[in-house]
Structure 1
Amino acid sequence: MTRLIHDKFAKDYLSELLCPIGTVNPGREISSEVRQIDVYFTPTAVTPDYIEKLGVLGKMATTTALFEPFRNPVNSDEVLSCLSKLLEVRSEFLRQAKRENTPYDELPKLWILTPTASETLLNGFGANPDEENWCKGIYFLSEYFRTAIVVIHKLPEVPSTLWLRILGREGVQQRAITSLGALSVDDPLRINALELVYQLQSNLRVNRGQKSKSEDEEDDKLIMAIKPLFQEQLAAAEQRGEQRGEQRGEQRGEKRGIQQGKIEEHRTILENFLRVRLGELDPNITALIAPASALPAVEFTMLLVQLATVSVDENGMRQARHLLAESVLRMRFGQLDERLTNFIPRLLALSLDELGLLLSQLPELSVDELLGRWDNSAS
């Protein structure tokens, strides 16, 4: 289970980084049998600045490429399987060129990404470093194979390898994530990487108890590395909200400018967070996001932590609705008594129009008025 979670993270992560400069096809099937390439990339955009920012990964993405990331050290059978995928793609290229009577462009390359690799495996495939053109830790098979084994834990810990080292394990991955802190909080690459890494953290939390003790310990260290960066990202977002609120308040002469800016920024964070976690949101969740965005910073952060643990399915959608409704009622009435707790399922069963009306009136209602109004409408 843990390996599948990390596999999905690696595919999503590489796809997100590479999509600005080309076409990304994660899970591309090959015709000879039902098998998939983890990430199939075709460059389309010439953006030297972005490629340079990706460092070594950007250099790899200057040609059509197959990326095959492994969570555990790759073995010989897995390398051979990757090579067979490359050969199948090569055959497709050649058949298409012959069919269309056109010269084919440069053939694709295969990049096998593994945390570690034994000397026996590297020697068995005749893989050798090319430190004149590439950094340490990248081992190339013979020229015609157009393949390299990237041993992530042997890469130098420098900025140009950062985006590859995030796909490593244990200390290598944790230090790479910590290095994201050196980037501007507004950097799109940092933001996208943190969103995906935070989603990885959420999935790891959900699957606790299904792994070995050592896997749990590794996941805990990863979570600890992510936490301060996420808090920094949240603080920066709130600050941007304050600044926008101040500007709006100055322009309108309103004292509530700063607070309104915070609420709007919370709303953006919460909506984006839920979309990343759950996908398309239903109208009732969207209706609850607005009042929940007015939560104070501490309670808002706790809500995000709780939402990060919901499952990624319809049950998770129900859990999210319940947590949002609970937060909205707690913000209005403080500690929830049994009557309010029992009222939550009824609130969530309201139509969208009824829910919208109730939420608009909630700030003016007492507990008795709220429950009495619902009882009257039900009768």
Structure 2
Amino acid sequence: MTRFIHDQFAKDYLEELLKPYGEVQAPSRVAGEVRQIDVLFSPSVGQNTNLEVLGLLGRFAETPAILEPYRNAASSDEICDCLLKLLEVRGRLQREANRNETFVQESEIPKLWILTPTASANLLSSFRAIPTNDWLPGVHFLADALRTAIVAIHQLPVIPETLWLRILGRGKVQGQAIDELQVMPANHPFRKATLELVYNLRQNLRVNQNLEPDDQELIMRLEPLYQQDRERAVQEGQTQGIKQGEQRLVIRLLNRRFGEIDLSLIERVQELPVEQIEGLAEALLDFSSLTDLETWLNQQ
């Protein structure tokens, strides 16, 4: 259960960071055995000059990209599955080009970035994945023709350029990144949205009974930060801002779970006070249909 929560957080988080710079599909279905790409990104023309704010993640987004984040260390089978997704996308592009009697440009083929919290030396060696001088430590490239890199997040240097990827790490790596995020300037374009997503992750984890030690530590680290932000916002008269932020998160989760929901239901959610919106964020994890949401709303 917690793995699903972290997977959904990673997809929402990457979508939030990348959507100003191009088209994001999270998830995206590909042919074959109905595999799903976690995040498929296509950069907009002329946006690459603004990607520096995302550091190393911004470099990944300079060209079409497939991003596959893992909560647990990616296994050999999972990496092979990612490669199959890339090859299926490549095959789809080739079939479209054949129908149009054109050629697939190398720049049109996405690069695959496998984001794993840790990666053993044996795993990297088994795929002949090696670092290069042009990239930071922790980024290991497979053969050029495969257009793939395994990003071992625990090996990334602790510098601002890697912050947005270290948020997707585990344990101390993720905790350090969250601490850095908290002290960033308030006007940073991604600080507020990222903190909202992280706090929503905290809420979703709190309702689970059998948490892993890493998740328990994450909740304990986030709890005082969340309370401090809420108290600061109240003192500054931003209660409405808190409510709107939590509304956006809940509505996004509902849309992810059930597709686009009816406007009347959205309006009912927006009418809820902050405390009930937080309760809904926890309750929706147990919903199996929109009928459950309507029943919950009727009980409030």
TM-score by length of 1: 0.68
What corresponds to 1:142 in structure 2?
Answer: 143
Structure with the higher helix share, 1 or 2: 1
Which structure 2 residues correspond to residues 74-85 of structure 1 after superposition, within 5 A? 74-85=74-85
Which structure 2 residues correspond to residues 1-379 of structure 1 after superposition, within 5 A? 1-48=1-48, 50-105=50-105, 106=107, 107-130=109-132, 132-207=133-208, 209-211=209-211, 215=212, 217-238=213-234, 242=236, 262=237, 265-278=238-251, 279=254, 281-287=265-271, 289=273, 309-312=282-285, 313=287
Tell me: CA distance 1:135–1:287, structure 2 relative to 1, closer, same or farther (3 Å).
closer
Summarize deviations over 1:183-204 as a string: whole Å, max 9, x none: 1223231111111111111111
Contact 2:21 2:48 in 1 (8 A): no
**CA deviation after TM superposition for structure 1 residue 317, in Å:** 6.9
Tell me: CA distance 1:305–1:224, structure 2 relative to 1, closer, same or farther (3 Å).
farther
Contact 2:196 2:245 in 1 (8 A): no
Tell me: CA distance 1:309–1:89, structure 2 relative to 1, closer, same or farther (3 Å).
closer
Tell me: CA distance 1:144–1:185, structure 2 relative to 1, closer, same or farther (3 Å).
same
Tell me: CA distance 1:191–1:137, structure 2 relative to 1, closer, same or farther (3 Å).
same
Q: Alignment partner of 2:23: what SS?
A: strand
**CA deviation after TM superposition for structure 1 residue 26, in Å:** 1.1
**CA deviation after TM superposition for structure 1 residue 286, in Å:** 4.1
Q: Alignment partner of 2:118: what SS?
A: coil
Q: Alignment partner of 1:92: what SS?
A: helix
What corresponds to 2:258 in structure 1?
Answer: none
**CA deviation after TM superposition for structure 1 residue 51, in Å:** 0.6
Q: Alignment partner of 1:311: what SS?
A: helix
What corresponds to 1:356 in structure 2?
Answer: none
**CA deviation after TM superposition for structure 1 residue 157, in Å:** 0.7
Using the alignment, how far apart are the partners of 2:294 and 2:200 within structure 1? Answer: 16
Contact 1:20 1:45 in 2 (8 A): no
**CA deviation after TM superposition for structure 1 residue 268, in Å:** 3.2
Tell me: CA distance 1:318–1:90, structure 2 relative to 1, closer, same or farther (3 Å).
same
Tell me: CA distance 1:169–1:99, structure 2 relative to 1, closer, same or farther (3 Å).
same
Contact 2:247 2:269 in 1 (8 A): no
**CA deviation after TM superposition for structure 1 residue 315, in Å:** 5.2
User: What is the one-letter code of the residue matched to 2:56?
Assistant: V
Contact 1:3 1:71 in 2 (8 A): yes
Relative contact order: is structure 1 or structure 2 higher (C-alpha 8 Å, sep ≥ 6)? 2
**CA deviation after TM superposition for structure 1 residue 318, in Å:** 6.1
**CA deviation after TM superposition for structure 1 residue 146, in Å:** 0.7
Q: Alignment partner of 1:42: what SS?
A: strand
Contact 2:247 2:277 in 1 (8 A): no
Contact 1:206 1:311 in 2 (8 A): no
Contact 1:185 1:233 in 2 (8 A): no
User: What is the one-letter code of the residue matched to 1:99?
Assistant: R
Unaligned runs of 5+ in 2: 255-260
User: What is the one-letter code of the residue matched to 1:5?
Assistant: I
Q: Alignment partner of 2:187: what SS?
A: coil
What's the Cα RMSD here? 2.5
Using the alignment, how far apart are the partners of 2:169 and 2:195 within structure 1? Answer: 15
Using the alignment, how far apart are the partners of 1:196 and 1:268 within structure 2? Answer: 15
Tell me: CA distance 1:224–1:304, structure 2 relative to 1, closer, same or farther (3 Å).
farther
**CA deviation after TM superposition for structure 1 residue 92, in Å:** 1.3
Using the alignment, how far apart are the partners of 1:8 and 1:227 within structure 2? Answer: 20
Summarize deviations over 1:21-64 as a string: whole Å, max 9, x none: 01111121111221111111111143355310100000000111
Using the alignment, how far apart are the partners of 1:288 and 1:59 within structure 2? Answer: 41
Contact 2:118 2:154 in 1 (8 A): yes
**CA deviation after TM superposition for structure 1 residue 227, in Å:** 2.9
Using the alignment, how far apart are the partners of 1:81 and 1:57 within structure 2? Answer: 22
Identity score, percent: 45
Unaligned runs of 5+ in 1: 243-261, 293-301, 323-344, 349-379
What corresponds to 1:358 in structure 2?
Answer: none
Q: Alignment partner of 1:113: what SS?
A: strand
User: What is the one-letter code of the residue matched to 1:225?
Assistant: R
Aligned pair count?
283
Using the alignment, how far apart are the partners of 1:288 and 1:143 within structure 2? Answer: 53
User: What is the one-letter code of the residue matched to 1:274?
Assistant: Q
**CA deviation after TM superposition for structure 1 residue 121, in Å:** 1.2
Q: Which has the larger radius of gyration?
A: 1
Tell me: CA distance 1:228–1:304, structure 2 relative to 1, closer, same or farther (3 Å).
farther
**CA deviation after TM superposition for structure 1 residue 128, in Å:** 0.5
